[in-house]
Amino acid sequence: MANLYEKFGGTETIAAVVEEFYKRVLADDTINHFFKETDMKKQMRHQTAFVSFALGGPAYTGKSMEKAHEGMNLQPEHFDAVATHLAGALAHFNVSDEDINEVLATVGTLREAILYK
């Protein structure tokens, strides 16, 4: 059985989902300020690599989640907003509810590594 990375069509498809995800994130005033000084092209490349890895694709060689979010003091509402936008971006590409839930469960395992840093 294919993992989600293969099922979704690999890096190219995931890059499209990540682009849609950031459109949603940047339109959300509760979290868009975290990206004010961010090179979004670079951010999308990193996020595509990370999401690809999280879904069973190639190894991710970027910063740890703790290091990447250090000094941001992200709160549960920020994490939840990001998860909501990820689910919305996946739904935009007709990903099944079952697969969206699997992605969100995977992302949920990172909650403690990201919050309050």
Give yes or no for residue 107 having a pLDDT over 90.
Answer: yes
Q: Are 86 and 104 in contact (CB under 8 A)?
A: yes
Q: Is the dihedral of CA 18, 75, 32, 24 positive or negative?
A: positive
- Which pLDDT belongs to residue 1? 74
CATH code for position 41: 1.10.490.10
pLDDT tens digit sequence for 41-55: 999 999 999 999 999
Give yes or no for residue 15 having a pLDDT over 80.
Answer: yes
Residue entry with tokens 């740890």: 64
Q: Are 25 and 77 in contact (CB under 8 A)?
A: no
- Which pLDDT belongs to residue 14? 97
On whether the pTM is more than 0.75, the answer is: yes
Question: How many domains are contained in the chain?
Answer: 1
Q: Which domain holds residue 84?
A: 4-114
Write out the two tokens for 75.
């709160």
Picking from 30, 29, 5, the residue whose alpha carbon sits closest to that of residue 18 is: 5
